[in-house]
Structure 1
Amino acid sequence: MTISRVLTIEDDHLIANEIVRELEGRGFSVDWVDNGPEGLARAVTDEYDAITLDRMLPGIDGLCLLATMHSAGVQTPVLILSALGDVDERVRGLRAGGDDYLTKPFIPEELVARLEVLLRRRRRAATAQQDTETMLCVGPLELDLISRKAKRDGEEIVLLPTEYRVLELMIRLVGQTITRTMLFEAVWGYHFNPGTNLIDVHMSRLRKKIDPPGVKPLIRTVRGSGYILA
């Protein structure tokens, strides 16, 4: 089961400790910062599944932080926490880009429930996007999910079924090291057998097709770990 990562941006240490304790007790991984500038830096440069954002922060106001996040292309769902509970303030927060608004003081269980709703929405949106996806592209490499054909620099590459599955996995995880165990379980559907050269054979064939002589190699071996599509 994947652990959801939450960034909590909250300057009140008592409230922050309560949030962290409650979320970690429910199985979340939580990072906490107590000011706007550091919170913005974390939100923009790191990968989180959700953010809890205090409305009034030192350094950068919560709504300004939201606007900057969105201008930087950050789409992480945000739950605004604020002592400003009148209707106009809630509307301002939601219009600024907040996905939900919870007034302080709040019950920790409600905070968790609202975050879980935001996470479910995000997973559904990601699934819907994946379902409508028909083409994967990485630099000069294209993979058509409908025709199951690949191209590099416009030149078609003939792939065997297993090579196609390996390449699809590598494109979806571009930039990440893919271990031999991951390849076995995702492509062949069973656990890694260190005594077989099955992966070596298929990777050798795939690399000859994807990285022919005279072009910049896209597939690299990570010594002792696996492979990466860079």
Structure 2
Amino acid sequence: MTYTILAADDEIEMLDALELYMTKEGFSFIKALDGMEAAAVFQKQTVHLVLLDIMMPKLDGFAVLKKIRETSAVPAIMVSARDADYDKILGLELGADDYITKPYNPLEVVARVKALLRRYYDYAPAEIETAQTVLTHKNLVLHVDEGVLLKEGQEITLTSTEFKMLKLFMAHPGRIFTRQQIYEAVWEEAYYGDDNTVSVHLSNLRNKIENNPKKPAILKTIKGLGYKMEK
């Protein structure tokens, strides 16, 4: 399968450099020079992953991602010349799966793209594999093969990260997972410390599945240990 990558950046030199590396890896590569163009391309073409620069004319990367997340859970990587925690946290809260700071090595970008595509489309870690194709919990029904979540019969849009995280908990109700276990199962990378990534995605997930996210009844925090889904 040939994956299509949509990259939006107002620096054409950056896009041209990325295109060389991406096409060498066999990806189809679409360039957009501003946020409006990126949003329009996404609506018209099949895209498997988006790379969005934050600082773009017409629409910034955050606004583009917000539009995309209204209809799609496609993997998304934010790119910024600003190495600020606020930007990273905001991107994650809006549904980004990863964050890269400029200046970057194109080879690193390619590696992150390949890893994210593998997680989303190809690979199912043993920790979250389950023979069940439908998982249920209270008012939640997760159709694993289709990647669809229903809450009280209404479909809830999840990002790829939220889906994997929810699948992990629903496949193991009552089990406590540490932040490290969650990170390594969902992101498939070694965990080197707390950078709020797990917390932000858990918060986003709670906002979608809990009736009262401030007093969660489904995804519980176990102080000093981690998190679990109540049986």
Contact 1:40–1:69 (8 Å) recurs in 2? yes
2:101 aligns with one of 86, 100, 103? 103
- CA shift, 1:38, in A, is 1.2
Instruction: Give runs of aligned pairs for residues 148-167 of structure 1, distance below 5 A.
Output: none
Alignment coverage as a number of residue pairs: 132
Q: Separation in 2 of the partners of 1:130 and 1:31?
A: 37
Flag as ranges the 4+ runs of structure 1 deviating above 2 A: 124-131
- CA shift, 1:36, in A, is 0.8
Q: Separation in 2 of the partners of 1:43 and 1:100?
A: 19
- CA shift, 1:29, in A, is 0.8
- CA shift, 1:78, in A, is 0.8
Map Cα deviations across residues 1-26 of structure 1 (whole Å, 9 max, x no partner): x1111111111011111111110111
- Which structure has more relative contact order (CA 8 Å, sep 6+)? It is 2
SS of residue paired to 1:7: strand
Larger radius of gyration: 1
Map Cα deviations across residues 173-205 of structure 1 (whole Å, 9 max, x no partner): xxxxxxxxxxxxxxxxxxxxxxxxxxxxxxxxx
1:87 aligns with one of 85, 88, 94? 85
- CA shift, 1:45, in A, is 2.8
Match of 1:47 in 2: 46
SS of residue paired to 1:24: helix
Match of 2:200 in 1: none
Instruction: Give runs of aligned pairs for residues 179-194 of structure 1, distance below 5 A.
Output: none
- CA shift, 1:44, in A, is 2.5
Q: Separation in 1 of the partners of 2:124 and 2:69?
A: 18
Structure 1 alignment gaps of length 5 or more? 134-230
Q: CA RMSD in A?
A: 2.4
Match of 1:122 in 2: 120
1:6 aligns with 2:5: yes
Structure 2 alignment gaps of length 5 or more? 135-231
When residues 35 and 12 of structure 1 are mapped into structure 2, their CA distance, relative to the original with a 3 A threshold, is same
Contact 1:8–1:30 (8 Å) recurs in 2? yes
Match of 2:16 in 1: 17
SS of residue paired to 1:69: helix
Match of 1:156 in 2: none
What is the letter of the counterpart of residue 133 of structure 2?
T
Match of 2:133 in 1: 132
- CA shift, 1:61, in A, is 1.2
Identity of matched residues, % = 29
- CA shift, 1:132, in A, is 1.7
Q: Separation in 2 of the partners of 1:33 and 1:86?
A: 24
Contact 1:43–1:74 (8 Å) recurs in 2? no
Contact 1:44–1:74 (8 Å) recurs in 2? no
- TM-score calculated relative to the size of structure 2: 0.53
SS of residue paired to 2:95: coil
Q: Separation in 2 of the partners of 1:14 and 1:91?
A: 27
SS of residue paired to 2:26: coil
SS of residue paired to 2:50: strand
- CA shift, 1:86, in A, is 1.7
